[in-house]
Amino acid sequence: MKCAAPMFDLHCHSLFSDGELLPSELVRRVEVMGYGAVAITDHVDSSNLEHVIVNLKRVADEISRHGSTRLIPGVEITHAHPYLIAGLAVEARRLGAKIIVCHGETIAEPVCPGTNRAGLEADIDILAHPGFITPEEAGLAASKGIMLELSARKGHSLTNGHVARLAREYGAPLVINSDGHSPSEFMTAEKARMVGMGAGLAPDAVEELFRRAWDRILAIEG
């Protein structure tokens, strides 16, 4: 079964942080793969937040005017102390970020304990690769409509099954993202479906996940 919604990715990186490509090339790479939208969510803290958002907004206007793939300017608040996450999210919204990702407590990196909770209490859209997220945190994500990420990225993906199980149990929305940093990491629609089914989701649940996330994209883009 193919996704009724267009292909998209709401978490990837350009050379504004640790990705390999300019935003223009990144969008062109996924455009030829049939993407309807892609969010570039480069890593930020207080040192580079404004630089990333201002420049992504500028290029997004240019790209979206002339191409078939929408570029959504975003950020990934990364390794910021939990106490700082809410303020960074507020500032990111003020500057014009349309997708705010919080770098969750993946088991692949030494993320500060309490980051998942702080992210979920802030004004974010996606908690990325949240590792061994707790039932209470999954319930908070459900109550606020924050999407929990199933990641295609090595290391981060090891807890996808745990994340999917708690999301289903507590009713939290899910999203499948690549966290791509290089061309080889951007997902085809088939790869994205495999990530979802590998996390234990039935094929029809994967399709519903895509449809709901695409509806969120349409709402964000107005």
Q: What is the pLDDT of residue 222?
A: 74
Beta bridge partners of 8: 37
Q: What is the pLDDT of residue 1?
A: 38
Q: What is the CA radius of gyration of the chain?
A: 16
Beta bridge partners of 101: 76, 126
Structure confidence by residue, pLDDT tens digits, 150-191:
999 999 999 999 999 999 999 999 999 999 999 999 999 999
- Residue spans of the domains in the chain: they are 7-221
Structure confidence by residue, pLDDT tens digits, 68-113:
999 999 999 999 999 999 999 999 999 999 999 999 999 999 999 9
Structure confidence by residue, pLDDT tens digits, 28-49:
999 999 999 999 999 999 999 9
Strand order in the sheet with 147-151: 7-12, 35-44, 70-77, 99-103, 126-128, 147-151, 174-177
Percent of the chain predicted with pLDDT > 70? 98
With a threshold of 0.95, does the pTM exceed it? yes
User: Model confidence at 4, in pLDDT bands (50, 70, 90)?
Assistant: low
Q: What is the CATH code of the structural domain delimited by 7-221?
A: 3.20.20.140
Burial of 161 (0-12, 13-18, 19+ CB in 10 A): middle
